[in-house]
Amino acid sequence: MAPSVIVVESSGCTGLVPALTERLEPFGVSVSALPADAPPPGAGPPAGRPARRTFLLGGELHGWCLESDGRTDEAEVIASAVAAARLRAWAAATRPTPTVTRFHRPGSDSVGVVQFDAGDGSQLVAKTGESGMIRSETGFTSRTNDDLARIGRDALFPRLRGVQIQGRQGTSLMEAVEAADLEKRLFEDEARTELAPDAADILAPYLDQLAGWYRLTAGEQRPTSADYLYRERFDALREQPAFRSTFRRCFGDRARGHERERERDHARDHERGLGLGLDLDEHLAAELTLPDGTRIPGYTAATAWLHEHAPALLPRTGSQVHGDIYPTNMLRRSGGGPVFIDPRTVWEQRQRPDIGYGDPVFDLATLLHGLLPMPAILHAAREGKPEALFGDAFDPARPHDVSALRLPLRFSDRLRAIEHRLVRTAPGGEPAPVVRCRLYIGAACSLAGWLKYENTLRTPQAWAATYAYSVWYLWQARTVHQRYTAKESS
C-alpha cells in the first residue's frame, strides 16, 4: 500500500490537508480528508469523539492515529514524522540488508543484545530493555561522552547511534566494541580463584581512564544514593520477594531431604538458637562459620553495625560514576583503548535527582567483588560444578556453616596491590582506612544484590558462597574501622 494520510475532522477545525499536501506530495504521500459526522448547530463534536483524527496508512507508520481537539495545527508534526519515515525507508533501500553477526548475553537490565552489520561495513549493537532504563542510560552515556570530547578525551562508553522507543520497550543503537576477555585474562587458573601476575597491569588503563573521569566531574555534594548503597540496601534486599524466593528455591526442598542430619545436629542447633526449621531470617541472624573455624557476625548483626557506623563513613563528595564496574562490562575499542558498557544509574527502581552522580569508591567496590569472589562463583554455576565451591562436605541444612568453602577467603598479595591502586584511584583526600571501609561495604552490597538472582546462582552452594563473602566483606570493613578509630582515639 502506498503511504497516505487521512484526516477526519469536524467542521470548524483548522484544516490540515492543504499544508500536509504541500509538504508530503514530493515524498509520494497522498493526503485526503473525510468529513466527520456533523454535530447539531452550535454543538461541539459528538460526546467521546475527538474533533480531529489523523490516520497514517501504508509505509513504516501504517496504523498510527493522532487524535486532537481540532484547535491545534499539527501539520508540521505530522509532516515531519512521515517525511522522516520515508527517508529512513529510502536509505534502507540503498544499502545491503543488515545481517546479525552475534548475539551477546543480556544483562539484568536488558532482554536482548544483538550485534549486526549495518550494511555499510560498520558493526552496531542493539540493546533492548525497559524504555525508562534505555532513556536513562543513553542520556547518561551521551552526556558523558560529549563532556569528555569537549576536553579532547576518548569516549568512556560506546558512541550512541540512535534510540528507538516503542511503548514500554526501548532499544539503544551504539557502536560495537570488542571483548577484552578480562574475566579470563585477570586470572591464572580456569576456576578464577587466583589473580594473574599481570592483573594490575591489565587493569591499569581502565583505572587511569576512570581516575581522570572522576576528577573531571568531582562535586562537593554528597550523592543521594550513598546512604542507600552503604546502609539501607542491605535491609531492603532481604525483604524483596526475589531475594526470599531464591533462598527458598535453593534450600527449601533440599533442607527437608536432610532430616537425619538435622535431627543429629538438633541439640547443637538448639543451643545456637537456630531451631530445626531454619528459614531465611534465622539464617541471616546466625553466625557464619569460616573455613579456619572462626565465627563472625551474620548478616543481621553486620547490618546492625552498619546502621550505627555507616553515617560517619558516608562520602562528603562525589562524581559521575559507572555504577557496575565488573570485568564483563570492561571492553576495548578496535584500537585497543579501554571502554565501558552497561552503566547502572538506578538500583531497585529507586529514582533520584542526581542520576549518574555517586561515590567513586562504590564504583571501585563493584570491581573489587569482580576480582574476589564473583567470577569464581559464576564460573562454577555456569559449568554446573557446585563441588568446586564446597566439595562434598556442604550441608544445605546449614548454609551458615561455610567451613568447607574451597575458595580463598583472604586477600592475596596480588589483590592487595590492586586494592591499594583502587584506593589511590578514588579522588578526594579522605583517609585510606575510611576509603577501604567503603570499598569493603560496597563489595558486600554488590554481592548481596546477587542473592536475588535465582537463575544466575542456580545452586545452594553458589548462594551460600555469595552470602558468605558478603558477610565476610562486612566483617573486613568492621575490623578496619575498629582499628582506625582505636588509633585515632589513642
Question: Does residue 55 carry a pLDDT above 70?
Answer: yes
| DSSP letter (8 states) at residue 97 | P
Q: What is the mean pLDDT of residues 358-383?
A: 97
Among candidate residues 55, 72, 93, the one where a domain is terminated: 93
382 Cβ contact list (under 8 Å, min separation 6): none
Amino acid residing at 284: L
Residue 135 — very low, low, confident or very high, per pLDDT cuts 50/70/90? very high
Higher pLDDT, 58 or 160: 160
The answer to whether 399 and 322 have CB atoms below 8 angstroms apart is no
How far is residue 324's CA from residue 345's CA, in Å, rounded to a whole number?
A: 9
Q: What is the mean pLDDT of residues 399-422?
A: 96
Residue 72 — very low, low, confident or very high, per pLDDT cuts 50/70/90? confident
Question: Rounded to the nearest 5°, which phi and psi values hold at 235?
Answer: -75, -40
Question: Which pTM was predicted?
Answer: 0.79
405 and 434 belong to one structural domain: yes
Residue 432 — very low, low, confident or very high, per pLDDT cuts 50/70/90? very high
Question: Does residue 379 carry a pLDDT above 60?
Answer: yes
Please report the pLDDT score of residue 260 as a whole number.
43
Out of 7-11, 190-194, 373-377, pick the least confident.
7-11
Q: What is the mean pLDDT of residues 439-447?
A: 98
How far is residue 111's CA from residue 428's CA, in Å, rounded to a whole number?
A: 38
Q: Give the other-Cβ count within 10 Å of 422's Cβ.
A: 22
| DSSP letter (8 states) at residue 187 | B
The answer to whether 310 and 478 have CB atoms below 8 angstroms apart is no
Please report the pLDDT score of residue 275 as a whole number.
36
Please report the pLDDT score of residue 91 as a whole number.
77
The answer to whether 366 and 323 have CB atoms below 8 angstroms apart is yes
Q: What is the mean pLDDT of residues 36-62?
A: 69
| DSSP letter (8 states) at residue 329 | G
Residue 21 — very low, low, confident or very high, per pLDDT cuts 50/70/90? very high
Among candidate residues 125, 147, 175, the one where a domain is terminated: 175
Cα→Cα distances 128→142, 167, 408, Å = 17, 12, 37
Question: Does residue 182 carry a pLDDT above 70?
Answer: yes
- Using alpha carbons, select from 458, 425, 445, 471 the residue that is nearest to residue 213: 425
9 and 103 belong to one structural domain: no
Domain with 166 in it: 99-175
| DSSP letter (8 states) at residue 323 | S
pLDDT tens per residue, range 302-351: 999 999 999 999 999 999 999 999 999 999 998 889 999 999 988 888 88
Please report the pLDDT score of residue 270 as a whole number.
39
Q: Give the other-Cβ count within 10 Å of 325's Cβ.
A: 26
How far is residue 260's CA from residue 275's CA, in Å, rounded to a whole number?
A: 15
219 and 330 belong to one structural domain: yes
Calculate ∠ Cα 361-367-371, nearest 5°.
135
Q: What is the mean pLDDT of residues 397-420?
A: 96
Question: Rounded to the nearest 5°, which phi and psi values hold at 402?
Answer: -110, 30
| 3-class DSSP assignment, residue 182 | helix
Please report the pLDDT score of residue 272 as a whole number.
40
Please report the pLDDT score of residue 48 as a whole number.
58
Spell out a b/e string for 163-195, using b for 16 or more CB atoms within 10 Å of the CB, else e: beeeeeebbbbbbbbeebebbeebbeeebbbeb
Give residue 65's Cα distance to chain centre.
35
Q: Give the other-Cβ count within 10 Å of 416's Cβ.
A: 11
Out of 64-68, 384-388, 471-475, pick the least confident.
64-68
The answer to whether 303 and 234 have CB atoms below 8 angstroms apart is yes
How far is residue 109's CA from residue 137's CA, in Å, rounded to a whole number?
A: 10
Number of domains in the chain: 3
The cell for 258 is 536432610
HSE at residue 183, side-chain half, CA atoms within 13 A, is 17
Q: What is the mean pLDDT of residues 207-229?
A: 95
Please report the pLDDT score of residue 257 as a whole number.
41
Out of 58-62, 200-204, 297-301, 382-386, pick the least confident.
58-62
Please report the pLDDT score of residue 14 as a whole number.
67
327 and 463 belong to one structural domain: yes
215 and 304 belong to one structural domain: yes
| 3-class DSSP assignment, residue 402 | coil
Please report the pLDDT score of residue 47 as a whole number.
54
Amino acid residing at 287: E
How far is residue 431's CA from residue 361's CA, in Å, rounded to a whole number?
A: 12
Q: What is the mean pLDDT of the chain?
A: 89
The neighbouring-strand residues paired with 296 are 288
Question: Rounded to the nearest 5°, which phi and psi values hold at 195?
Answer: -70, 145
Please report the pLDDT score of residue 265 as a whole number.
45
Higher pLDDT, 189 or 9: 189
pLDDT tens per residue, range 100-129: 999 998 887 899 999 999 877 789 999 999
48 and 148 belong to one structural domain: no
Please report the pLDDT score of residue 414 as a whole number.
98
Amino acid residing at 167: G
169 and 117 belong to one structural domain: yes
Please report the pLDDT score of residue 37 as a whole number.
61
237 and 368 belong to one structural domain: yes
Please report the pLDDT score of residue 88 as a whole number.
83
Indicate the pairing of strand 169-175 with strand 123-130.
Answer: antiparallel
- How does DSSP assign 267-279, residue by residue? HHHHHTT--SS--
Spell out a b/e string for 276-295, using b for 16 or more CB atoms within 10 Å of the CB, else e: eebebebbbbbbbbbeeeee
Question: Does residue 86 carry a pLDDT above 90?
Answer: no
289 and 397 belong to one structural domain: yes
363 and 399 belong to one structural domain: yes
Q: What is the mean pLDDT of residues 164-183?
A: 92
- How does DSSP assign 1-47, residue by residue? ---EEEEEE-TTSPP-HHHHHHHHGGGT-EEEEEEPPPPPTT--SPT
How far is residue 285's CA from residue 453's CA, in Å, rounded to a whole number?
A: 21
147 and 256 belong to one structural domain: no
Question: Does residue 174 carry a pLDDT above 70?
Answer: yes
107 and 77 belong to one structural domain: no
How far is residue 387's CA from residue 43's CA, in Å, rounded to a whole number?
A: 79
Among candidate residues 175, 202, 217, the one where a domain is terminated: 175
Please report the pLDDT score of residue 278 as a whole number.
59
Q: What is the mean pLDDT of residues 470-474?
A: 98
